[in-house]
Structure 1
Amino acid sequence: MTTPPQSPTHPAATYSAPFLARRSHLLTQISSSLEDTLTQINSLNRSLEGIIEIGNEFAAVEGLWSSFETFMGDQGQSQPEGMDGKDDEKEVGQSHGDGKGK
């Protein structure tokens, strides 16, 4: 297939100038929009970096609370079931027989 020669009498030649002008205008708009998008993404990136920095400042506090929670959890598990001491006395009395001295 061959394309017809571009001549002023050919209909494609009359449409090429407005097409090129419109294409140029659209490319300019696209370029401007992409620049705006890039600027806004950079702004968002700076905001996210600020948020991450603030979050990192709480890492030490989180670590302290985490170790406190672990310590308290270990303390709770090492305590016998009867924390008031009544269950322990019953077990001691049962383990020594009738409870009379020797």
Structure 2
Amino acid sequence: MATSHNAFAADAPHSSEFETRRAALVNDIGESLEQVLTHINALNRSLEGIIEIGNEFASVEALWSQFETVMGREEEVAQNPSTQDDTEESRVEHDRASRG
């Protein structure tokens, strides 16, 4: 009986050391996860700010897109004068049809 008690007593310091190290590692992991969460939240706020800035430029982008479309049409008309006549004729026909 004394032999088994001595063996158990010898294992106790090892398990205590193991539990101490495990607790320290679990604590370190918990702190690291908290830091990761903090950094992810900061990243999320930064991305939201970037998206808001991008959304503010939507109206400017639409205006430039219209400008590009108009300039492209004028350039196309300058290259093909017959197209201009066709578009004017189709406008006149459309106006006549809409008037009745």
Query: TM-score band, normalised by the shorter chain?
Result: 0.5 to 0.7
When Rg is computed on C-alpha atoms for both structures, the one with the higher figure is 1
| Structure (1/2) with the larger helix percentage | 2
CA distance in 2: counterparts of 1:61 and 1:7, whole angstroms:
82
Quote the sequence identity (%). Answer: 52
Counterpart of 1:55, as a letter, is G
Residues 78 and 72 of structure 1, relative CA distance in 2, 3 Å threshold: same
TM-score, scaled relative to structure 2 = 0.68
Counterpart of 2:7, as a letter, is T
Following superposition, which runs of at least 4 residues in structure 1 exceed 6 angstroms of deviation?
A: none
Residues 44 and 80 of structure 1, relative CA distance in 2, 3 Å threshold: closer
CA distance in 2: counterparts of 1:7 and 1:45, whole angstroms:
57
Residues 70 and 8 of structure 1, relative CA distance in 2, 3 Å threshold: farther
> Which residue of structure 2 lines up, in the alignment, with residue 94 of structure 1?
none
- Please say if 1:79 is aligned against 2:98: no
User: Unaligned regions of 5+ residues in structure 2, if any?
Assistant: 82-100
Structure 1 residue 56: Cα displacement: 0.4
> Which residue of structure 2 lines up, in the alignment, with residue 9 of structure 1?
7
Alignment of 1:1-40 (within 5 A): 8-10=6-8, 12-40=11-39
Calculate the aligned-residue CA RMSD, in Å.
Answer: 2.0
CA distance in 2: counterparts of 1:52 and 1:38, whole angstroms:
21
Residues 74 and 7 of structure 1, relative CA distance in 2, 3 Å threshold: farther
Deviations 1:55-89 (A, max 9, x none): 1000000110011001101110111369xxxxxxx
> Which residue of structure 2 lines up, in the alignment, with residue 87 of structure 1?
none
Counterpart of 2:75, as a letter, is G
Matched length: 77
